[in-house]
Amino acid sequence: MTGKKRILTGDRPTGALHLGHYVGSLVNRVKLQEEYDSYILIADVQALTTHWEQGEDLENSVYQITSDYLAAGLDPNQATICIQSKITEIHELAAYFSMYTPVNVLRHNPTIKAEAQQHGFKDLMYGFLGYPVSQAADIAIFKAHVVPVGEDQVPHLELARRIVRRFNDLYKPVLVEPEVLVGQVSRLVGLDGKAKMSKSLNNAIFLSDKPEDVWQKVRNAVTDPARIHKTDPGHPEVCTIFEYHKVFNNSELESIEQECRQGKIGCVACKKRQAQVINQLLEPMHERREQYKSRDILTDILREGTRRAQEVARSTMEEVREAMKIQYFK
């Protein structure tokens, strides 16, 4: 086809995307979409590993994430947005991978452990414990060279590399060992200043938040607790808003730091500036979101993307079956 290297990434459709997703990996995907042949997988089956009872919401979430992608700047003419459950070869490949992936490796996966704890899972479901294997199949079926993701995905990428290497050794070297690309800001702090930004922790600024929502959220964000009056010297190193200035407002960083330490800029003014900067970032996203408002347009994009992805998946699976000698009636 194009001779470009290929990217594959994905997200579970479990809710609106926020600034943490944006700086963690979305911005990389947008930047790289021209240079690479890019595939973005909406991992609806993987979403069921934690939300298995929410069939109806799943469809809305798929549309929601699609409009977030397009708003963030993914161009459907460059990047292929596709739906995991519709690419049935992925599940076939995952089954083959699962034959030689030890359960203990999955049990010790730090992201699996953290997520199990977060969701209060004790007796782990088979699908949940095994989703990194299916994720390896997501990546391998596209023969992706690069996978731009957030830091929490690194253990899954290590496993994917291992599974691919083993496949190539066992059968025939037809699969590509993927490289991981972690965003510059691998972990964006939440508005509460405690944990990373996350929808379930209710500390997130969403890409779809309007200027007034952004201001209300930033206004209530946790800052330096030792600073009560504007003239008190501030401690930017403990301030959530300063963390955001670091990420979103580099050009004013030094002056804000100095003014804060000298008690010259108050928290309200500093937050106002921060809200402005975030709203500037989000404004073009709101405009793009308007262009893709119609559900029919989104359906067309998903249908076409999924069709393109199915072609790639079919062709890889031909090679996989041939390598494994699981080919009948030829």
Phi and psi at residue 171, in whole multiples of 5°? -115, -75
CA atoms within 13 A on the CB side of 40: 30
How far does CA 319 lie from the centroid of its chain? 29
DSSP 3-state percent helix, strand, coil across the chain (nearest 5): 60, 10, 35
**d(Cα 271, Cα 261) in Å, to the nearest integer?**
15
Least distance in angstroms from the C-beta of 211 to ligand TRP: 28
Task: Provide Rg for the chain, Cα atoms.
Answer: 22
Task: Select the residue interacting with ligand TRP from 83, 90, 139, 260 (CB under 6 A).
Answer: 139
Between residue 143 and residue 182, which ones bind ligand TRP under the rule CB under 6 A? 147, 149, 153
Residue 6 pairs in a beta bridge with 37
With binding defined as CB under 6 A, does residue 138 bind ligand TRP? yes
Least distance in angstroms from the C-beta of 242 to ligand TRP: 27
With binding defined as CB under 6 A, does residue 17 bind ligand TRP? no
With binding defined as CB under 6 A, does residue 12 bind ligand TRP? yes
* Per-residue binder mask for ligand TRP (CB under 6 A), 96-135, x = binder: ---------------------------------------x
Strand runs labelled E in the chain: 6-11, 37-42, 79-83, 146-149, 179-182
With binding defined as CB under 6 A, does residue 62 bind ligand TRP? no
With binding defined as CB under 6 A, does residue 10 bind ligand TRP? yes
How far does CA 57 lie from the centroid of its chain? 19
Is the distance from CB of 168 to CB of 161 less than 8 angstroms? no
Q: Which is nearer to ligand TRP, 21 or 227 (CB)?
A: 21
Task: Select the residue interacting with ligand TRP from 38, 46, 50, 223 (CB under 6 A).
Answer: 46
Coil vs helix vs strand at 179: strand
With binding defined as CB under 6 A, does residue 305 bind ligand TRP? no
Coil vs helix vs strand at 106: helix
Least distance in angstroms from the C-beta of 209 to ligand TRP: 21
The stretch near ligand TRP (CB under 6 A) out of 39-47, 263-271, 282-290, 293-301 is 39-47
With binding defined as CB under 6 A, does residue 8 bind ligand TRP? yes
With binding defined as CB under 6 A, does residue 137 bind ligand TRP? no
How far does CA 109 lie from the centroid of its chain? 18
Is the distance from CB of 180 to CB of 156 less than 8 angstroms? no
The stretch near ligand TRP (CB under 6 A) out of 7-15, 74-82, 181-189, 267-275 is 7-15
With binding defined as CB under 6 A, does residue 43 bind ligand TRP? yes
Which residues contribute to the site for ligand TRP (CB under 6 A)?
Answer: 8-12, 41, 43, 46, 135, 138-139, 147, 149, 153
